[in-house]
């Protein structure tokens, strides 16, 4: 009897408070749904996997390190000294020029009776006057032939050679080193190709085997 009474009271309570009960259940359901959504959102959110006490190093630069090329030291190259010009003395002291050097104009040879070029300078002098070396060098040859008489060649180095023709009584020998002014021989008429010109020295100069003007080496007073 008592149970029926309590059940009746419970039914009456639900009938009177049904609205509030439904509202309460709805609020709880909504709250539960929100809680589930928040929890799920927290699980999906990315987390910083780097521990707070981890030191983050900068990215490694793989570019190879190249040592800088040292500056090339500037070396002052000493200037080469200007070679001292070669100046000849006259091969005949106080000798006068009776026939000059000319390779582009013909001159008359009284001995050969013809016009021809003249590859040297003829210095006239007394018979037996001394002919000397115009510059220091080494005697390259001492020869004789009828047309040129006794001929002495002196090598001055670097292809420069002086030649003395129409001499007699040579005083030097092949291989002898001579100084400027060394006596070589005597003026004569031994060169039959120029015998009509009297006693003289025929003087010529060559560079690397090519005849050149002796005036390019003689001092101004002898030009």
* Nearest one of 127, 166, 176, 172 to 145, comparing CA atoms: 166
Averaged pLDDT, 141-164: 97
| Architecture of domain 96-222 in this structure | Distorted Sandwich (2.70)
Write down the mean pLDDT value for the chain.
83
Cα–Cα distance for residue pair 167/149, rounded to 1 Å = 6
Residue 197 has pLDDT above 70, yes or no: yes
How confident is the model over 99-135, as pLDDT tens digits? Answer: 999 999 999 988 888 999 999 999 998 888 999 999 9
Rg (CA), the chain: 62
pTM of the model: 0.63
Q: How confident is the model at residue 222 (pLDDT cuts 50, 70, 90)?
A: very low
pLDDT above 50: residue 223: no
d(CA 209, CA 222): 24
CA distance 179 to 17: 151
Q: Where are the domains of the chain?
A: 96-222
Residues 6+ apart with CB under 8 A from 93: 129, 130, 132
**Pairwise CA distance, residues 38 & 31, whole Å:** 11
Q: Alpha-carbon dihedral of residues 143, 146, 148, 149, nearest 10 degrees?
A: 60
The yes-or-no verdict on residue 56 having pLDDT over 90 is: no
């Amino acid at each position: 009897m008592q149970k029926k009474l309590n059940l009746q009271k419970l039914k009456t309570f639900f009938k009177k408070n049904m609205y509030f009960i439904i509202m309460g259940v709805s609020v709880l359901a909504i709250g539960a749904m929100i809680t589930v959504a928040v929890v799920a959102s927290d699980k999906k959110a990315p987390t910083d996997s780097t521990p707070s006490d981890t030191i983050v190093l900068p990215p490694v630069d793989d570019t190879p390190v190249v040592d800088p090329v040292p500056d090339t030291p500037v070396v002052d190259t000493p200037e080469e000294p200007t070679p001292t010009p070669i100046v000849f003395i006259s091969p005949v002291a106080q000798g006068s020029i009776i026939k000059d050097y000319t390779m582009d104009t013909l001159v008359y040879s009284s001995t050969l009776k013809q016009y021809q070029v003249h590859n040297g300078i003829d210095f006239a002098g007394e018979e037996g006057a001394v002919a000397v070396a115009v510059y220091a060098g080494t005697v390259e040859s001492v020869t004789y032939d009828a047309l040129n008489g006794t001929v002495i060649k002196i090598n001055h180095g670097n292809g420069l050679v002086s030649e003395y023709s129409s001499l007699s009584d040579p005083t030097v020998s092949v291989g002898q080193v001579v100084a400027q002014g060394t006596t070589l021989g005597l003026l004569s008429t031994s060169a039959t190709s120029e015998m009509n010109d009297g006693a003289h020295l025929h003087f010529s100069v060559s560079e690397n085997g090519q005849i050149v003007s002796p005036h390019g080496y003689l001092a101004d007073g002898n030009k």
